[in-house]
Structure 1
Amino acid sequence: MKYHRRLYRLLPLLGLLVLCVTACTKSADPEDSRPQQVSSAYDQNDVNPELTEAMNRFALTVYNESYQKEPENTAQMADPDNLFISPVGLYMNLSMLYNGASGQTATELQKALYTKGITLQQLNEGQQVIQELLEHQEDDVQIELAGSLWSRSGWAPEDTFVQRLQHSYGADLHATDFTSSQAVKDINSWVSEATHGGIHQMIQNPLEGNTMLVMLNAVYFKGGWTEPFEQRQTHKQSFVSGKGEISSVEMMHRQGEYEYTRQPHFQAVRIPYGATGKWGMVVVLPDRDYDLQQFRQHDLPEFAHWTSAMSSTAGEIGLPRLELNEELQFRDILRSMGIRRVFDPQRAELDGISQSVPLYLSKVQQNTHLIINEKGTEAAAATSAEIAAGAMPSQPFRMIMDRPFFVAITDRTTGLIVFMGELHHPI
């Protein structure tokens, strides 16, 4: 992770996810140009509340599991203690995969996606509505979702599978020679374009020799703060990591009215984006005798409860200016959530993708990129407890993120947690 000392003109939040579906073999184991906003054909009433609840339950589960499991390739992570993911991107990509699954494979995916009682048609239609609403809300907040399918030359997925994904997820099919370096260049070019240059490389040479299909999903977000931080109020300040290491960061400061709550072991503030404030970054700072692991276990599962307890309060916030890049492999994480059969070369049931070639899921990876500065944020990505409403503070709050903290970027129209993460080490 790197803190930059200059002001960024772009304010992005990027995420990209790739699923590699591989043929089974007996021996293998597994600035500022924006498109004109177009009004959506849907409104908030068209959102399926059961699907929103399912997606947020999945988000909280996969987030917790991400910290329970050791990363498969720690060396490639900027900092293994930091985390930044797009649960929406991962959920949408697994939903795409679910369209090709059957039998026990489909049952495991359905359980992990919390879609019991939601038909496949309702899932696909609901995802289409959510994507439309996320992308078409207001001119000063930009979010784009994109998907694509890349198949081995000479082979193609089942027509029904491709048609469903094109219709509901906007995922077009591209045929390519996976054995060529040009295929890698083409896929990475798509990735770079979909994330506005935030993520340049998702696929590396060589692809597995038996790879038949690559499913890509990208989520791009760029939003300016409703009330920007003033650069003259940014100054160097100490940041103390969870390990007690002290480093110097560029800390942005601002006073104003914010949605805020004081809970028994932490305080939380919502920093809005855009003119309407429908988008916002929820920032949580645990008390000094209460760490993020405790917050994750005891308080994060009740995210909806304590965020609803927020009320307009005067105060001061301090937020580090930062740039973060992460890569996370999800295979072990998803297996711990009960998605197992699809990773088994001998037992995976993906006949909805192909009836001629037995397939299994060999890799699930997400790359994310986050920038926070005075103007806003840019990003991308290629339990039970009783919570009482926090008492109204009797005086203005002060919340300076000079130690490990949690963030979540949420959308009020759909009710979704689109990005989430935590910062333990600034450098």
Structure 2
Amino acid sequence: MTANGADNQTLSEMEAVLGGDIGLEELNEYLFSYVRNLPNDKKSKLTVANSIWFREDKNRLTVEKDFLQKNADYYNAAAYKSPFDGQTLKDINNWVKENTDGMIEKILDQIDDDAVMYLINAIVFDAEWETVYNKANVREDSFTAIDGNKQTVDFMHSEENIYLDDGRATGFIKPYAGNKYSFVALLPNEEIAIGEYLDMLSGEGFLQTIDGAINTTVSAALPKFSYDYKIQMNDALKAMGMPQAFSPVQADFNKLGQSSRGNIYIGEVLHKTFIQVDELGTRAGAVTKVEMKDEAYIETKIVNLDRP
């Protein structure tokens, strides 16, 4: 959504990171079609919601109508003109809570004075197992945490029929109801640390592992767990190749709008997730917030009186 407001070099960098060889218009069309065709039924659903919140101050911010319309057309993004006060803070967090089925309660702690827009994406996955576990399938056992400490947890035992082995890890695939979605579990070999394995794992490599799946009986033990996580993605996105979007001086978001206070740029990209896996299935939610700012850039001059 944010890229639809970018132009020139800022847009080129964002296209390269977000779509690779795919241009923005083609990427918009692809994502529109992808989300529209996501399989959903009573026992397994994957839903996506988007919203754009912008500051109500006509003397300060002008938002391009084409930007709002394009994001409405392709991403069904609702647009909210708001005063960016305490009520707006509540409204945004309530939207997040509602569109993650309560799994993520908020994405904002405060609204900064130099914030002019928030672009929010929320995703929910909620699915039952094709075969749910019964009480006899759940037994306590020892789990070794990433810090090496052992803890007693509930393990869910089952027989699966799809085995994975990429030479560095083994695992299995467990289907959800309707066989439209599946849970993929991978366990690195004992001599390979989890961090090392993740560093080696690529999207292409992951798909090759799935393509190489073997049909055979797998005795699987899966721990029940819930986990939440958040990460600021500014540095990662800059390192991937789109630093200009975060620059108060160089960012070009003229297709998004203009501010009388200064150039508009990305202030923060924050990603929050939650997942719960139990006897019935999996519930997961994710929210990404893109904060646009208009803080005027003031070059600092240095005068150091360390000589006559």
Question: How many residues in Structure 1 have an aligned counterpart in Structure 2?
Answer: 281
What residue is the counterpart of 1:363 in the other structure? 268
Structure 1 contact 230–254 (Cα < 8 Å) conserved: no
Shift of 1:114: 3.2
CA distance in 2, matches of 1:217, 1:262: 34
* Cα deviation 1:72-96 (Å, max 9, x = unaligned): xxxxxxxxxxxxxxxxxxxxxxxx1
Amino acid at match of 1:190: W
Structure 2 unmatched ranges of 5 or more: 288-308
Classify 1:156/1:139 alpha carbon distance in 2 versus 1 (closer, same or farther; 3 Å): farther
What residue is the counterpart of 1:315 in the other structure? 218
CA distance in 1, matches of 2:42, 2:128: 11
Structure 1 contact 220–379 (Cα < 8 Å) conserved: yes
CA distance in 2, matches of 1:140, 1:234: 22
* Pairing partner for 1:271 from 150, 153, 174: 174
Query: What SS is found at the alignment partner of 1:339?
Result: coil
Classify 1:156/1:234 alpha carbon distance in 2 versus 1 (closer, same or farther; 3 Å): farther
What residue is the counterpart of 1:6 in the other structure? none
Shift of 1:299: 4.1
Amino acid at match of 1:319: L
* Pairing partner for 1:202 from 88, 96, 107: 107
* Cα deviation 1:180-218 (Å, max 9, x = unaligned): 21111111111111011111111112x110111000000
Shift of 1:223: 0.5
Shift of 1:156: 4.4
* Pairing partner for 1:232 from 136, 146, 158: 136
Query: What SS is found at the alignment partner of 1:361?
Result: strand
Structure 1 contact 253–318 (Cα < 8 Å) conserved: yes
Amino acid at match of 1:285: L
The question of 1:151 aligning with 2:54 is answered yes
Q: Which protein is richer in strand relative to its size?
A: 2
What residue is the counterpart of 2:68 in the other structure? 162
**Mapping of residues 59-78 of structure 1, within 5 Å:** none
Query: What SS is found at the alignment partner of 2:14?
Result: helix
Shift of 1:376: 0.3
TM value normalised by structure 1? 0.63
Structure 1 contact 326–367 (Cα < 8 Å) conserved: yes
CA distance in 1, matches of 2:236, 2:212: 31
The question of 1:246 aligning with 2:154 is answered no
**Mapping of residues 277-288 of structure 1, within 5 Å:** 277-288=179-190
Structure 2 contact 225–276 (Cα < 8 Å) conserved: yes
Asked which structure has the greater CA Rg, the reply is 2
The question of 1:348 aligning with 2:254 is answered no
What residue is the counterpart of 2:122 in the other structure? 218
* Pairing partner for 2:87 from 182, 193, 208: 182
Structure 1 contact 230–253 (Cα < 8 Å) conserved: no
Structure 2 contact 227–275 (Cα < 8 Å) conserved: yes
What residue is the counterpart of 2:290 in the other structure? none
Report % sequence identity: 27
CA distance in 2, matches of 1:355, 1:150: 15
Amino acid at match of 1:108: E
More displaced, 290-299 or 138-147?
A: 290-299
Classify 1:281/1:119 alpha carbon distance in 2 versus 1 (closer, same or farther; 3 Å): same
RMSD of aligned alpha carbons: 1.5
Query: What SS is found at the alignment partner of 2:153?
Result: strand
What residue is the counterpart of 1:416 in the other structure? none
CA distance in 1, matches of 2:165, 2:234: 37
Shift of 1:336: 1.1
* Cα deviation 1:140-166 (Å, max 9, x = unaligned): 211110000001012442000000000
TM value normalised by structure 2? 0.87
Query: What SS is found at the alignment partner of 2:63?
Result: coil
* Cα deviation 1:306-354 (Å, max 9, x = unaligned): 1101122112111111111111110111111111011111111000101
Structure 2 contact 274–286 (Cα < 8 Å) conserved: yes
CA distance in 2, matches of 1:193, 1:114: 29
What residue is the counterpart of 1:291 in the other structure? 193
CA distance in 1, matches of 2:187, 2:77: 38
CA distance in 2, matches of 1:194, 1:126: 23
Structure 1 unmatched ranges of 5 or more: 1-95, 383-427
What residue is the counterpart of 2:10 in the other structure? 105
CA distance in 1, matches of 2:201, 2:113: 45
What residue is the counterpart of 2:232 in the other structure? 329
Query: What SS is found at the alignment partner of 2:130?
Result: coil
**Mapping of residues 77-96 of structure 1, within 5 Å:** 96=1
